């Protein structure tokens, strides 16, 4: 079972109400069992919502609102949903394809908290949790066709 950031498959769950549809990711899912999740929506955040970035352990909006708890709860809920679905199919979750650089889904590189789209080393909150579970991670940019 593969976890996929829902916005990569066209779900309008981005902070601005849009999506990040990726043809490459859509092709990758062909013949795969996958579950599309948006951890921020799973955490109860609305769409649209103010953009947020990680600053160390915290996730904050540009106005300084602390949304860390919602991000963490959503990461846990999205993981739980994926594990439940995998169990139903007698599978395990082995891989996640996540949206690059986002505060929940970024893998190895995220925006640095300055809201200037400046990349810095680090994982998003969801990616961090999945990594701790031993799930392999990649972004849509890592798919080689």
Residues in contact with ligand SF4 by CB under 6 A are: 5-7, 13-14, 38-40, 99, 102, 104-105
Tokens 């169990």 belong to 87
Of 86 and 103, the one with the shorter C-beta distance to ligand SF4 is 103
Strands (E), the chain: 2-5, 34-37, 52-55, 58-61, 95-98, 109-111, 119-121, 136-139
CB of 145 to ligand SF4, least distance (A): 21
CB of 84 to ligand SF4, least distance (A): 18
CB of 9 to ligand SF4, least distance (A): 9
Buried-exposed string 24-41: b where 16+ CB fall within 10 A, e elsewhere: ebeebeeeeebbbbbbbb
Of 40 and 53, the one with the shorter C-beta distance to ligand SF4 is 40
Of 86 and 106, the one with the shorter C-beta distance to ligand SF4 is 106
CB of 11 to ligand SF4, least distance (A): 8
**How far apart, in whole angstroms, are the C-alpha atoms of residue 75 and residue 60?**
16
**How far apart, in whole angstroms, are the C-alpha atoms of residue 113 and residue 4?**
24
Of 40 and 123, the one with the shorter C-beta distance to ligand SF4 is 40
């Amino acid at each position: 079972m593969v976890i996929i950031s829902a916005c990569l498959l066209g779900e309008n769950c981005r902070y601005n109400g849009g999506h990040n549809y990726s043809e490459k990711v859509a092709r990758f899912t062909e013949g795969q069992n996958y579950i599309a999740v948006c951890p921020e929506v799973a955490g109860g955040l609305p769409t649209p919502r103010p953009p947020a970035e990680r600053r160390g352990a915290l996730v904050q909006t540009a106005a300084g609102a602390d949304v860390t708890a919602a991000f963490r709860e959503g990461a846990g809920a999205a993981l739980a949903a994926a594990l439940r679905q995998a169990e139903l199919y007698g599978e395990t979750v082995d891989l996640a394809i996540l949206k690059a650089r986002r505060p929940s889904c970024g893998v190895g590189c995220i925006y640095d908290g300055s809201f200037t789209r400046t990349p810095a080393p680090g994982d998003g909150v969801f990616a961090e949790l999945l990594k701790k579970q031993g799930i392999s991670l990649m972004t849509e940019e890592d798919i080689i066709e």
